[in-house]
Amino acid sequence: MPATTRATFDQVMVPSYAPGAFVPVTGKGSRLKDRSGRVLIDFAGGIAVTALGHCHPVVVKALKRQADRLWHVSNVVTNEPALELASKLVAKTFAERVFFCNSGAEANEAALKLARRVASDHEIVKGKRPDVAKRHEIVAFTNAFHGRTLFTVTATGQKKYLEGYGPLPAGIRHVPYNDLAAATAAITKRTCAVIVEPMQGEGGVTPATKAFLEGLRRRCDETGALLVFDEIQSGAGRTGALYAYMKYGVTPDILTTAKGLGAGFPIGAMLTTEKLAKHFTVGSHGTTFGGNPLACAVGSAVIDLISSKRVLAGVDKRHAAFVKGLAKINAKHGVFREIRGMGLLLGCELAPAHAGKAKDLVALAEKHGVMLLQAGPDVLRFAPSLVIPMADVKEGLKRLGKAVAEYCAAAA
Ligand SMILES: *Cc1c(COP(=O)(O)O)cnc(C)c1O
């Protein structure tokens, strides 16, 4: 077998991604190295996933320990790591029950199916379930991202992700994010669920206003709709709270989490109350790999670390360093219109003169040795490890400064 290269991608992979030229082979903390020994500072965290950096020793130890014990038993029997992780999530959040799966989309799929099921259960007459409950509508928001299964991508609602996949699941409508009046009008007694990101990630790194989430909670209580917080990106310590809902002081009925929960190992979970959970009766929903011992052993170690005061307080300290460094770059070059976000999910919206250039800047940053993300064509996104060393923050920002300088010199 000859060594693989970036060119191999085009020969053997489905072309639904366009990966960069850099092919990392090892990672340690917030540094990635390729075969040639080139090192990048990681400000991307694999799209807000590697919340503890690469190969965190405590997480590696948990995985290795479990690898020698038990990998898979299906859901015909339960297993200790799953029970342990669920117990921790229940102890640390509003939730009373947990459903495990393998990804964010699956967690949202479970949440939306549960909401439909709850509504349908309430309308059963003489043991007969309606084909489509009267209360079946789902309200979601413009610029949302909820995943790529047909149901969750329909809830995502962005044209570019939907084209060519119809017919789509019915009953999902979108209203503008942070527009409480529009949401209040859209949420009615026909609404079974409202799904919202407390901070939109893919859609541009846009935090919800407190009044918006409070208003959604109030309107859901008035109409009987369930409030679903998609915390797949904003959760697991990303905002400096274990989950962003804690920062807002607004509690959902259902919360979905994935990405950072496994810090790089695939896992997702849907958290809810006992009262709602009981509608998922035996056999009504399931997954082969959900709750597998390897993923849950990792998740358990991750939750212990990221829910510690030390890690969460460190997020605020790093947030401040990023904002300061980015503002300094902007004072020199004037490329950003706004620097926003919470904790270690930060977005720099490009000034109108540089609209659409986020992709070019991400490529230039890679050239200068720092890995970033986009959130749409106009926003640079930063989602580094929650424990990124301060020295790497400094060095990465220095490299970004050089990339922006090169960009500006070329644009002038
Ligand atoms: C990434 C993401 C998802 C989808 O998660 P997958 O693991 O890719 O299926 C859903 N919602 C939000 C907010 C996300 O950021």
318 within 8 A of 324, measured Cβ to Cβ? no
* Domains of the chain by start residue, with CATH: 6-56+309-411 (3.90.1150.10), 59-306 (3.40.640.10)
Cα 66 from Cα 300, distance rounded (Å) = 11
- State the closest ligand 1 atom to the C-alpha of 266, by its place in the atom list counted from 1: 7
d(CA 408, CA 171): 46
Q: Give the β-pairing of 172-175 and 137-141.
A: parallel
Average pLDDT over residues 321-343: 98
Ligand 1 pocket residue status of 145, Cβ below 6 Å: yes
Ligand 1 nearest-atom number relative to CA 144: 13
pLDDT over 80 at 321, yes or no: yes
Tens of pLDDT, residues 343-379: 999 999 999 999 999 999 999 999 999 999 999 999 9
Atom of ligand 1 nearest to the CA of 200: 13
178 φ/ψ sector (left φ>0, alpha ψ -120 to 50, else beta): left
Q: Nearest-CA neighbor of 371 among 35, 30, 50?
A: 30
**Nearby residues of 33 by Cβ (< 8 Å), 6 or more positions away:** 24, 25, 26, 27, 39, 40
pLDDT value at position 217? 98
Ligand 1 centre from 232 Cα, in Å?
6
Nearest CA to ligand 1 atom 15: 233
Substitution site in 259, 265, 289, 381 for ligand 1 pocket (most atoms within 8 Å of beta carbon): 259
Q: Under 8 Å CB-to-CB from 12, ≥6 apart: which residues?
A: none
Over the range 383-401, which residues count as b (16 or more CB within 10 Å of their CB) and which as e?
bbbbbbeeebbebbbebbb
Residue 353's pLDDT is: 96
pLDDT digits (tens, 9 = 90+) for 116-166: 999 999 999 888 988 899 999 999 999 999 999 999 999 999 999 999 999
The per-residue pLDDT for range 5-63, each reduced to its tens digit, is 999 999 999 999 999 989 999 999 999 999 999 999 999 999 999 999 999 999 999 99
Are 103 and 266 in contact, with CB atoms under 8 Å apart? yes
- Round to whole Å and give the CA distance between 101 and 78: 14
Nearest atom within ligand 1 for CA of residue 105: 9
Among residues 332, 352, 338, the alpha carbon closest in space to that of 381 is found at: 338
Note the pTM of the prediction, 2 decimals: 0.98
412 confidence band (pLDDT: 50, 70, 90): confident
Verify whether ligand 1 is closer than 6 Å to residue 230 (CB atom): yes
Evaluate: CB of 199 within 6 angstroms of ligand 1.
no
In the sheet that holds 379-382, the strands lie side by side as: 336-342, 345-350, 379-382, 373-374
Q: Is 233 in the pocket of ligand 1 (CB under 6 A)?
A: yes
385 neighbors 50 (Cβ within 8 angstroms): yes
**Ligand 1 pocket, residue 231 CB under 6 Å:** no
